[in-house]
Structures are given as structure tokens and as C-alpha cells.
């Protein structure tokens, strides 16, 4: 996310929503609303790089007539020359759920969230949500307005400052501070973009070994000299900050637990790519470097020279949640669970196998796939027409039988 979400504010009974997330899926997208945090959008597509991003980060409330009208989430992902925003409308409902997501204007979204927490007529009133001191201050402001000690404009400014102290509005000072942080982060990202990518054999052995200190020297020699390995390093200021290493091999050379990553219709000579390592230095994580490295591998494997490669797969610890989320955002699908796959410090650890299918590759058929295939085949046969076809066939046979029995015999031939 470009910015950090604001702190919780508003009626205390809404704190029940804090830390929870609610999803809605339609034909094209999956939306996830995490109250007082953010709204994300994930494209439901089979292409290898579907969109997945942030539509908005929790900022402040929209207040009208001293009632909380909507949650405002700004500073989402870039959208042309601006950034995405979301208004979240809270409505009474039997359960907490996202019921509708629209885009009234380009890059500006509106999400409707139903919840029983706002069904009370006073559930979204501002005054009851304030602490005692702010309520007393509000009373004084109302009194000054009534006594004509404040103009209407002065009253609105005073109420706004009160709302800012309550955390309902974002103050101008906080906006300026947030803008400075955004600019600093963008400048840092621009510096990263001036970095470079090199194959590992062109990098310093010492730098590479720092990234792979837990691997033997023989492994390092293999990945930098053997053409079956695809290896790339991200360089920043002459220092390696990220690396990807992948091995392209034929299917029959896969380990037993990975031999079924492709459908049985693909021959054993079909090529697959195994990601041995993808890592980024901790201080440079969440800057898009891992995505750039992975995309470079994908571009290589999607080229005309590599179109026989039908899948990319990898193994990841079941406890490595951040890595799992990263690969799922890149459209990798969990293929199998591998108990006790890793041995770390003599302790067994479980793993998942994740696969991304490319160049027309397909996963093995499941029971559901077989049933769907049978259903499609029956649909093509038009089973509802079978009784009619059988009846017509029976009628034809019966006519032939009847015609054969009543046909006159040919006259006898008399020989003189």
C-alpha cells in the first residue's frame, strides 16, 4: 500500500468489524473489504498476470448533517494520472456482508456494506461517539452559534477541527505529512528502477554466495555454468538485492511427488520449469523486485523458443504465509500438500507445491473435471431427443416388417 491506514475512529460498536475482512465475487473480480484498513480487487482471470491491487486505504469519514454517511478510502493503486478511491456506504442488514460494488466514475468506486451494527436509528450519529470533553466542546460551539457569537462559516470550521481531533476527519497537517511520505517512497522506488538485472555468471561470486550462504559451492557453480538453469540477479548500487534461479527440465526428471503436475495427455518429454530460489534482501522487499524477477522468467518461458515448457512449479513452507500470498497473487495454484518435505535444523516441516500453467499446459483432471466432461458429452448428444429417435427407429423397423408381410407374392412362372 502507498500509505498506512488511519487509526480506528467512529462509534465503538463498529470496532467489532476491525480486523475482519469481507469478500464479494462476481464474474470478473473478487473484492475484499477490510473495515478500517483497505479495499482490494482481484481479477478472476486465467491469464498469467491478472490485475490484483488496492482500491483504497482507510482515511476518514464522510459526515453529513452530523451523521456518518460513508467511510472514505483513498490513495489506492495508480489509475492513469491519479489514484483509486472508494466510498463505503454502511446500511442496515441481517448480517455483515458486501452486497454491491460499482465504479460510478473512472477510478472512483462505491461499495455497499450491510451490517446489523448500524440498524439502530442512532448507530451512526457523531455526537454519541465522542468522548465527554469533545461533547462538552460541541455544546459550547452550539451555544456560541445560538448566541450569534459565531458565524455559520466559523461554526463549520470549529466543528471540522473538533471532528479532526476525534479522528473522523484527516487534518491538513496530517495530509501534508502523508504527502511527504508518499513522495519519499516514490523517489525511493524511482531509485530502485534505475537498478539493473544481470545473469548470475556476470555477478561477483562473493555477492551471490552472500545470498546463498546456506547452499554448497557446488550448487553455486552449477547454476552459473549449466545452461539448463535460468538465473537472474537484481542489482542496485553495485549490490545484489534479489535473485531468481529456475531449472528447465523434462517431465520424467521430476521427483515422484511432482510427476503429476501436468495432465496425463502431455508426454513425459514435456518441459517444466522448477523455481529453485526466489529471494530479495529484506530491506528491499515489498518494492516489486520479486515480481520483476518472476516476470522476467515468465517472459523467457513464454518466448517462441520455450513454448514446449507447459508449467512452472515450486515448493514453499506451509508457514511462509507472505510467500504463499505472493505466489497466489501471481496466479500460482496450490497443487499438493507435502508433509515433512523440508528438514530444517533436523526438524521436519510441511510444504505446498504451487504450479502456474503456461503455453497451453493443463493440470491433471479431477473427479469434477471428468463429471463435467461426461455432462458436456451428454449435452452434445441431446439426451432429451433420445426417446424420439428410438420411437422413429422403431416405427421404421415396424413399417418394414409390415410391408414385408403384406407384399404380394410374385406370380408363378409357367413353362410351356
Q: Is 352 a catalytic residue?
A: no
Choose the catalytic residue: 230, 274, 327, 341.
274
The closest alpha carbon to 353, from 288, 260, 218, 245, belongs to 260
What residues pair up with 170 in beta bridges, in sequence order? none
Angle, helices 152-165/132-146, rounded to nearest 10 degrees: 180
Q: Classify residue 378 by burial, with Cβ atoms within 10 Å: 0-12, 13-18, 19+.
A: exposed
Question: How many C-beta atoms surround the C-beta of residue 384 within 10 A?
Answer: 8
Cα–Cα dist 9/36, whole Å: 8
Cα–Cα dist 335/318, whole Å: 13
Cα–Cα dist 280/290, whole Å: 7
The closest alpha carbon to 46, from 386, 357, 255, belongs to 357
Cα–Cα dist 215/43, whole Å: 38
38-43 and 52-64 as β-strands: parallel, antiparallel, unpaired? Answer: antiparallel
Question: How many C-beta atoms surround the C-beta of residue 274 within 10 A?
Answer: 19
The closest alpha carbon to 318, from 303, 334, 301, belongs to 334
CB 199 within 8 A of CB 231: yes
Choose the catalytic residue: 31, 114, 313, 315.
315
Cα–Cα dist 221/13, whole Å: 61
CB 32 within 8 A of CB 22: yes
Residue with cell string 496450490: 334
Cell numbers of 276, please? Answer: 529453485
CB 337 within 8 A of CB 352: yes
Residue with cell string 460551539: 141
CB 267 within 8 A of CB 285: no
Q: Is 122 a catalytic residue?
A: no
User: DSSP character for 150?
Assistant: S
Question: How many C-beta atoms surround the C-beta of residue 133 within 10 A?
Answer: 9
Could you list the active site residues? Answer: 274, 315
Amino acid at each position: 500500500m502507498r500509505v498506512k491506514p488511519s487509526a480506528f475512529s467512529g462509534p465503538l460498536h463498529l470496532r467489532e468489524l476491525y480486523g475482519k475482512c469481507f469478500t464479494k465475487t462476481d464474474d470478473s473480480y473478487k473484492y475484499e473489504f477490510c473495515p478500517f484498513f483497505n479495499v482490494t480487487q482481484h481479477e478472476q482471470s486465467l491469464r498469467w498476470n491478472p490485475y490484483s491491487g488496492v482500491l483504497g486505504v482507510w482515511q476518514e469519514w464522510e459526515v453529513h448533517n452530523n451523521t456518518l454517511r460513508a467511510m472514505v478510502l483513498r490513495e489506492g493503486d495508480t489509475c492513469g494520472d491519479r489514484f483509486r478511491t472508494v466510498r463505503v456506504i454502511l446500511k442496515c442488514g441481517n448480517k455483515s456482508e458486501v452486497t454491491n460494488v460499482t465504479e460510478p466514475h473512472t477510478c472512483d468506486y462505491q461499495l455497499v456494506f450491510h451490517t446489523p451494527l448500524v440498524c439502530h436509528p442512532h448507530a451512526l450519529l457523531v455526537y454519541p461517539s465522542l468522548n465527554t470533553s469533545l461533547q462538552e466542546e460541541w455544546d459550547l460551539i452550539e451555544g456560541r452559534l445560538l448566541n450569534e457569537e459565531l458565524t455559520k462559516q466559523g461554526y463549520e470550521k470549529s466543528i471540522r477541527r473538533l471532528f479532526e481531533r476525534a479522528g473522523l476527519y484527516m487534518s491538513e497537517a496530517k495530509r501534508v505529512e502523508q504527502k511527504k511520505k508518499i513522495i519519499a517512497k516514490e523517489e525511493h522506488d524511482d531509485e530502485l528502477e534505475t537498478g539493473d538485472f544481470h545473469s548470475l555468471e556476470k555477478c561477483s561470486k562473493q555477492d551471490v554466495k552472500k545470498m546463498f550462504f546456506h547452499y554448497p559451492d557446488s550448487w553455486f557453480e552449477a547454476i552459473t555454468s549449466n545452461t539448463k538453469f535460468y538465473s537472474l540477479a537484481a542489482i542496485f548500487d553495485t549490490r545484489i538485492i534479489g535473485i531468481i534461479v529456475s531449472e528447465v527440465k523434462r517431465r520424467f526428471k521430476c521427483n515422484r511427488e511432482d510427476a503429476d503436475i501436468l495432465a496425463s495427455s502431455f508426454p513425459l518429454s514435456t518441459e517444466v520449469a522448477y523455481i529453485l530460489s526466489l529471494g530479495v534482501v529484506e530491506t528491499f522487499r515489498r518494492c516489486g523486485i520479486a515480481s520483476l524477477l518472476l516476470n522476467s522468467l515468465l517472459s523467457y518461458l513464454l518466448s517462441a523458443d520455450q513454448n514446449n515448457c507447459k508449467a512452472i512449479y515450486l515448493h514453499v513452507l506451509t508457514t511462509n504465509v507472505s510467500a504463499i500470498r505472493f505466489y497466489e497473487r501471481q496466479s500460482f495454484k496450490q497443487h499438493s500438500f507435502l508433509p515433512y518435505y523440508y528438514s530444517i535444523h533436523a526438524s521436519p516441516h510441511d510444504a505446498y507445491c504451487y504450479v502456474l500453467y503456461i503455453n497451453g499446459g493443463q493440470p491433471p483432471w479431477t473427479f469434477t473435471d471428468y463429471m463435467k466432461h461426461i455432462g458436456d458429452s451428454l449435452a452434445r448428444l441431446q439426451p432429451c431427443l433420445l426417446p424420439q429417435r428410438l420411437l422413429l427407429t422403431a416405427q421404421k423397423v415396424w413399417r418394414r416388417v409390415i410391408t414385408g408381410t403384406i407384399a404380394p407374392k410374385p406370380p408363378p412362372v409357367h413353362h410351356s
